[in-house]
């Protein structure tokens, strides 16, 4: 059975969602987030690499799905861009080493639009994403976890050939 692991890359808390990919398995079976902690960029990257390798060993995914990162100039600051792009490179290296596919991701706004998630700005968007994912019955605790679950759900739709959600009438029809 194909297992898909989805990450929401972020400089401080990395969200994840994992589970089998089929018509019967509608939701990820495990999801959450991990804190990168305090310390230098090197320390945070080492924690991320350890987490990544542990997840690849635990789940043995056939695919790892990521949102496309924002361009560097759209990041909060230079160090945030460096951390996120560093994580992105670690994921690609680790998956290449293990022959794990990384499908082309989409931007966060495309994923939210395809799933008909409400759109807002800043912290308001984070709350909307958490509420949107909770409406599916997934007890997420923060926006990093919610984003990873949305990436997983979006990829399932792509893989199974389901069209993007058309609007409010079809918002939560994910069979």
pLDDT in tens, 20-34: 987 787 788 999 999
Question: Is the sign of the CA dihedral 103, 82, 7, 144 positive or negative?
Answer: negative
Question: What is the 3-class SS of 22-59, one letter each residue?
Answer: CCCCCCCCEEEEEECCCCCHHHHHHHHHHHHHHHHHHH
Higher pLDDT, residue 173 or 141: 141
Per the structure block, which two tokens stand in for 39? 């310390």
Per-residue pLDDT of 115-172, as tens digits, reads: 888 887 878 888 999 999 999 889 999 999 999 999 999 998 888 887 665 444 444 4
Looking at CATH, the fold of the domain delimited by 3-170 is given as Nucleotidyltransferase; domain 5 (3.30.420)
List, for residues 68-121, the tens digit of each pLDDT value. Answer: 888 888 888 898 899 999 999 999 999 999 999 998 778 888 888 888 888 878
Residue 169: what pLDDT?
42
For the four alpha carbons of 103, 110, 3 and 93, in that order, the dihedral sign comes to: positive
- Contact (CB, 8 A) for 62 and 28: no
Strand order in the sheet with 3-8: 30-35, 13-20, 3-8, 63-66
How far is 154 from 146, CA to CA, in rounded Å? Answer: 12
Residue ranges of alpha helices (H) inside the chain are: 41-59, 78-97, 108-114, 122-134, 143-159
Q: What local confidence, expressed as pLDDT, does residue 166 receive?
A: 47
Positive or negative, the Cα torsion across 73, 76, 81, 87? negative
The Cα 28–Cα 61 span in angstroms is: 13
* pTM of the full structure: 0.87
In terms of phi and psi (left: phi > 0; alpha: psi -120 to 50; beta: otherwise), the region of 117 is beta
């Amino acid at each position: 059975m194909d297992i898909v692991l989805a990450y929401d890359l972020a400089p401080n808390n990395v969200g994840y969602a994992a589970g089998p990919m089929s018509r019967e398995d509608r939701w990820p079976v495990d999801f959450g987030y991990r804190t990168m902690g305090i310390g230098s960029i090197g320390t945070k990257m080492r924690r991320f690499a350890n987490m990544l390798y542990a997840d690849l060993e635990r789940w043995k995914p056939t695919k790892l799905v990521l949102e496309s990162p924002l361009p560097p100039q759209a990041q909060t600051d230079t160090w945030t861009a460096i951390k996120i792009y560093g994580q992105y490179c670690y994921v690609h290296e680790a998956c290449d080493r293990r022959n794990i596919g990384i499908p082309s991701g989409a931007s966060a706004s495309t994923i939210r639009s395809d799933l008909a998630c409400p759109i807002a700005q800043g912290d308001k968007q984070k709350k909307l994403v958490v509420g949107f994912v909770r409406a599916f019955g997934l007890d997420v605790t923060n926006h990093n976890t919610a984003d990873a679950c949305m990436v997983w759900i979006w990829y399932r739709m792509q893989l199974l050939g389901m069209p993007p959600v058309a609007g409010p009438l079809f918002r939560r029809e994910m069979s």
